[in-house]
Amino acid sequence: MSEPAITPELVAKHNLTPEEYQKILGILGRPPGYTELGIFSVMWSEHCSYKNTRPVLKTFPTKGAGILVGAGEENAGIIDVGDGIAIAFKIESHNHPSAVEPFQGAATGVGGIIRDIFTMGARPVAAMNSLRFGELSNPAVRRLFSGVVSGIAHYGNCFGIPTIAGEVYFDPSYEGNPLVNAFALGVLRHDQITRGAAKGVGNPVFYVGPATGRDGLAGAAFASQDLTEESSEQQRGAVQVGDPFMEKLVCEACLELLATGAVAGMQDMGAAGLTCSTCETAARAGTGIEIELDRVPQRAPNMSSYEIMLSESQERMLIVVHKGREDEVKRVFDKWDLPWSEIGWVTDTGRMVVRHGGQVVVDLPAKKLTDEAPVYFREMREAAYMEGVRAFRLDGVADTRDALADLKKLLSDHTISSKNWVYRQYDHMVRDGSVICPGSDAAVIRIKGDSLPVLPVGHPAQGQPVPDKYVAMTVDCNGAYVYLDPYEGGKAAVTEACRNLACSGAAPLGVTDNLNFGNPFNPEIFWQLRESVRGLADACIAFHTPVTGGNCSLYNQRGALGSIDPTPTVGVVGLIERPEHITTQWFKDEGDVILLLGEPVDGNDPLLGLGGSAYLRVAHGLKTGLPPRCDLEAAPVLHTTLIGLIREGVVKGAHDCSEGGLAVCLAESAFSELIAKDTPRFLGATVDLSEIPCARLDALLFGETQNRVVITVSPTNAGRVLKQAVAMGVPARRLGVVGGSDLVVKTVSGEFRSDLASLHDGWWNSIARAME
Q: Which residues are catalytic?
A: 47, 94
CB-based contact 728:643 (threshold 8 Å): no
> Which residues, at least 6 apart from 551, have a Cβ–Cβ distance to it below 8 Å?
90, 91, 92, 93, 181, 513, 514, 515
CB-based contact 673:586 (threshold 8 Å): yes
d(CA 529, CA 533): 6
SS3 content of the chain, % helix, strand, coil (to 5): 40, 25, 40
DSSP H/E element including 764: helix 756-771
Quote the strand ranges of 323-437, DSSP E: 340-347, 351-356, 359-365, 434-436
Closest CA to 703 of 627, 623, 604: 627
CA angle 531, 535, 540 (to 5 degrees): 145
CB-based contact 98:242 (threshold 8 Å): no
d(CA 473, CA 511): 10
Alpha helices by DSSP H, listed for 515-600, are: 523-542
Specify the amino acid at residue 136: L
- CB count within 10 Å of CB 394 equals 18
Quote the strand ranges of 540-644, DSSP E: 547-553, 567-576, 593-597
Q: Are strands 547-553 and 507-516 parallel, antiparallel or unpaired?
A: parallel
Quote the strand ranges of 577-644, DSSP E: 593-597
d(CA 673, CA 557): 38
Give CA separation, 205 vs 36, 250, 298, 312, 320, in Å.
21, 16, 17, 19, 5
DSSP H/E element including 755: strand 750-755
Alpha helices by DSSP H, listed for 286-402, are: 305-310, 326-335, 366-370, 386-391
Radius of gyration of the CA atoms of the chain, in A: 26
Quote the strand ranges of 70-214, DSSP E: 77-82, 85-93, 123-133, 163-170, 179-189, 204-208
> Which residues, at least 6 apart from 309, have a Cβ–Cβ distance to it below 8 Å?
35, 38, 39, 273, 274, 275, 293, 354, 362
> Which residues, at least 6 apart from 762, have a Cβ–Cβ distance to it below 8 Å?
408, 411, 412, 417
- CB count within 10 Å of CB 363 equals 17
φ/ψ region of 357 (left if φ > 0, alpha if ψ in -120 to 50, else beta) reads: left
Give CA separation, 406 vs 229, 400, 618, 697, in Å.
38, 7, 8, 12
CB-based contact 105:574 (threshold 8 Å): no
State the maximum Cα–Cα separation within the chain, in Å, rounded to a whole number.
86
> Which residues, at least 6 apart from 402, have a Cβ–Cβ distance to it below 8 Å?
none
CB-based contact 347:289 (threshold 8 Å): yes
Closest CA to 154 of 124, 119, 109, 185: 109
CB-based contact 108:271 (threshold 8 Å): no
- Strand, coil or helix: 702: helix
